[in-house]
Amino acid sequence: MGRSYTKDVIALSKHVDGFINYNEIEKLDKQKQTNYLKEFGVDVVVHVFPKKEIAWLAKSAGIPLRVGTTNRLYHWLTCNKLIKLSRKKSDKHESQLNFKLLDFLNVDTSIALNDVSNFYGFTNLPSLNKEVEDLIDKNKFNIILHPKSKGSAREWGIDNFEKLVQILPKDKFKIFISGTQQEGDLMLEFLRNKNITDLTGKLSLQQFIAFINAADGLVAASTGPLHIAAALNKKAIGLFVSKRPMHPGRWMPLGKNAYAVVFDKECADCKMGKECNCITKIDPKQIVDLLEKR
């Protein structure tokens, strides 16, 4: 179960048999929601992303095993299997915390970070439209730069992406800029650079995923495209602050060619939980070096 915007990502995994769209469910009245969920004959619900309304819905639908955490009061009222789990104070990665929710299966849920990517199963990849595929230069490293984050992460800043475009060797790299149309409107001057190909607002999520798969790498803050690129084993370079809970220890991209970059792991302001712009101090040359690393 997920919202509409997650469907195309979830559909990539060969391990998933179906998708229940919560955006469609929440339009219904309470009784119709319950009846709708009952039709699936669900045996177990695991509340990975806790939401009070879904917890009560799962209980009203009579799902036999309902798994939540001890940290949510409503889970004590709606779930019959509680896992002791504190994300806020944990040093573990988000993926490792999610595995912990499977403790009720009596299997080893202590998964090493290097092994997480073995479980994605991202083999159901959409095909790329011919006109978009033709943008790929087979003689160069095709790099996607994703400057914005829709407010979900600290951003490196357009100035730094401009510097990165300037110093990337043009004989080795073909540079694409991705993002929504609204994000494109926020960086019009940057997009006029003749050394880049503007993809903002031009691709559906399915086509964007297919394009990431056809490209060679991606640079972004802690965003969905970064994690998709990592899962597809592209060179995925994530830009982070060291402040909790946004630090790479919790949210680094996981994949065979994924990297997490911070300016200062011991940043004093980050450690004190203060607002900090240390991410903007990451040197663009460091990103070039990582991209050229073979």
Strand arrangement of the beta sheet that strand 235-240 belongs to: 196-198, 173-177, 141-146, 217-221, 235-240, 258-262
The predicted structure's pLDDT at residue 248 = 94
Q: How far apart are CA 166 and CA 160, in angstroms?
A: 10
Boundaries of every domain in the chain:
4-119, 132-292
Q: What is the mean predicted confidence (pLDDT) over 270-287? A: 92
The predicted structure's pLDDT at residue 150 = 86
Predicted model pTM: 0.93
| pLDDT exceeds cutoff 90 at 255 | yes
- Kindly report the CATH number that applies to the domain delimited by 132-292: 3.40.50.2000
Average pLDDT, the chain: 95
The three-class DSSP label of residue 17 is coil
The predicted structure's pLDDT at residue 244 = 86
Q: Are 221 and 227 in contact (CB under 8 A)?
A: no
β-strands 217-221, 196-198 pairing: unpaired
